[in-house]
Amino acid sequence: MNKPLIRSTSYRGINTTVAFVGVVLFFSVFTPNHLFLDSRNLSSIARLAPDLGVVTLGIGMLLIAREFDLSISSIIPICAFIFALLLEAGMYPLAAFFVTLPVGAAMGFLNGVIVVKTGLPSFIITLSTMMFWRGVLFGASRMMPRAIRRYFPANSLLNNAMTMSVGPIPIQILWLLFFTVILGLLLHKHKFGNWIYAVGSNQDAARAMGVNVALVKIVLYTLVGTLCAFAAIMQATRLGSFSATQGARYELQAIAAVVVGGASLRGGVGSIGGILLGLLIVKSLENGLILMRVPVFGVEAFIGIAVILFVILNEYLNRRTE
């Protein structure tokens, strides 16, 4: 069995691609002085979008399995906080990186175990863990930012790996593409990807086929936690500081990007390529509207309307396919 049991329809892929091209063309024409296509603006998008994008890929795979994780907006700042504490304690940055990754993985693993063992909706479980970890973080950090730039030696390996550019291309976007390829191969070419689609489509049928549903969910939650830790370190390194508000609202933005990318909230449908395009659509909308000097509340409102329209369209396409 080397092909996914459930595939995203070609309609969804075409829909997402057309939407992305349309958004780019619109802002290329209507932003003042065509600033959207300015190399500095594109570079800015390439540096900022991967902070959310790396996590969105994991959330997308989780949503395909018909699960949610709202706790990412707490896992990210906690991992950044631990990373900052390790640096302050004198740990070498690269060593702090490899210590922080398992912290995020453990937090994701805990989410998965609770969801599997209790059988309660993941929306409620991860909402609760998000609130719990946020309280722990606010108490431990006292909401005070921490500068970490001085702990990075000049031209240190980790700093270069997280902030440098390869020619005109920021390395952050290359990390996003790297994870897109790896997770794309896992989802679309590996047996485990078949299991993800099967679990999201029908858990009982998946069990009857011998799929370990609990294992699939726990692995996906652990993956999301690990990606959160990576995104936290990448963001903290770029900013040169820790902030307790890192990752704020990422849980909603990630779900919005995944839905815009063609994944179904009912599970069993979606693709890594679509998720990446959904992320780029959401970030392009945000960036383009800001360049057009739309007020912040207007940006939020417009993106909200766009997500609703995509959900309606995707549900229509899903019913038509069925």
Residue 200's CATH number: 1.10.3470
For residue 184, being part of any structural domain is answered with yes
For residue 220, being part of any structural domain is answered with yes
pTM, rounded to two decimals: 0.92
pLDDT tens digit sequence for 281-315: 999 999 999 999 988 778 888 888 888 887 787 77
Q: How many domains does the chain have?
A: 1
pLDDT tens digit sequence for 114-165: 999 999 999 999 999 999 999 999 999 999 999 998 898 778 899 999 999 9
Higher pLDDT, 236 or 308: 236
Q: Which domain holds residue 187?
A: 10-321
For residue 298, being part of any structural domain is answered with yes
For residue 2, being part of any structural domain is answered with no
Residue 292's alpha-carbon distances to 18, 24, 29, 234, in angstroms, are 22, 14, 11, 29
pLDDT tens digit sequence for 22-54: 999 999 999 998 899 999 999 999 999 999 999
For residue 4, being part of any structural domain is answered with no
For residue 5, being part of any structural domain is answered with no
pLDDT tens digit sequence for 241-270: 999 999 888 999 999 999 998 888 888 888
Q: Using pLDDT thresholds of 50, 70 and 90, give the confidence band for residue 318.
A: low
pLDDT tens digit sequence for 175-209: 999 999 999 999 999 999 999 999 999 999 999 99
For residue 3, being part of any structural domain is answered with no
